[in-house]
């Protein structure tokens, strides 16, 4: 089983899906990606999750993020399940759902947790940046559906931090102030940004507007 960590290169793979063959790195290109697994097709929690991703896909697209799902089921099973998802969610599933019946991708990414009671994939999620670097790893138990709002929020936070050379605080959302990294002295930060508020020498906020 793989033990991937933040900063690792996301392993490449080729897998079939209901939309055809997906060569991960090539398919992703210079976009961000959210690769998320679910335990099995035609199960209740998974249906709500896949539907929610379908409903929110346009928001991910606006952030230059591609979605790709996975379970240890076949393309034929995915195709039989998708109409249920679309009817429940009122949205089309336009992202690929990978066929991982042989568990190659699940094992490559460490998505199989035998301690969870069987050999299905858990609710694993990976945010991968344009350089194929893993920026977020999220693992949820099979009984608990993921918060798609939080995944979108983290993508926004990562992209904001990358572009501003800063960090984001607890519960940060788009429009909130960002945090000046401790490695940048306050005087230097004030030369870079229009407004810097110093709470403590190590905690400084800014809107991120550059001078």
For the annotated catalytic residues, the residue numbers are 46
Query: Residue 173, SS3?
Result: coil
Q: Give the pairing type, strands 14-15 and 65-71.
A: unpaired
Strand partners, 125: 36, 138
User: Taken in order 159, 99, 104, 150, is the CA torsion positive or negative?
Assistant: positive
Percent of the chain as helix, strand, coil, to the nearest 5: 35, 25, 40
The helix (run of H) or strand (run of E) holding residue 137 is: strand 134-140
User: What contacts 175, CB < 8 A, 6 or more positions away?
Assistant: none
Tokens of 22: 């997906």
Using alpha carbons only, what angle is made at residue 121 by residues 104 and 135, rounded to the nearest 5 degrees? Answer: 80
Write the CB contacts of 164 (distance below 8 Å, at least 6 apart in sequence). 178, 208
Q: How many CB atoms lie within 10 A of CB 18?
A: 20
């Amino acid at each position: 089983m793989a033990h991937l960590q933040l900063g690792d290169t996301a392993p490449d793979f080729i897998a079939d899906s209901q939309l055809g063959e997906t060569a991960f790195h090539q398919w992703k290109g210079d976009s961000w990606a959210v690769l998320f697994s679910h335990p099995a097709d035609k199960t209740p929690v998974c249906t709500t999750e896949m539907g929610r991703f379908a409903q929110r896909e346009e928001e991910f697209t606006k952030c230059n993020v591609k979605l790709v799902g996975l379970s240890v089921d076949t393309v034929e099973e995915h195709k039989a399940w998708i109409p249920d998802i679309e009817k429940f969610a009122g949205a089309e599933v336009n992202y690929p759902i990978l066929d991982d019946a042989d568990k190659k991708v699940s094992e490559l990414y460490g998505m199989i947790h035998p301690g969870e009671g069987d050999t299905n994939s858990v609710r694993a999620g990976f945010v991968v940046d344009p350089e194929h670097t893993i920026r977020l790893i999220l693992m949820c138990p099979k009984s608990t559906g993921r918060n798609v709002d939080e995944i979108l929020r983290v993508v926004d936070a990562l992209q904001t931090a990358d572009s501003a050379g800063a960090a984001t605080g607890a519960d940060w959302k788009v429009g909130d102030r960002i945090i000046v990294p401790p490695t940048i002295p306050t005087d230097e930060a004030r030369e870079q940004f229009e407004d810097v508020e110093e709470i403590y020498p190590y905690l400084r906020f800014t809107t991120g507007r550059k001078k």
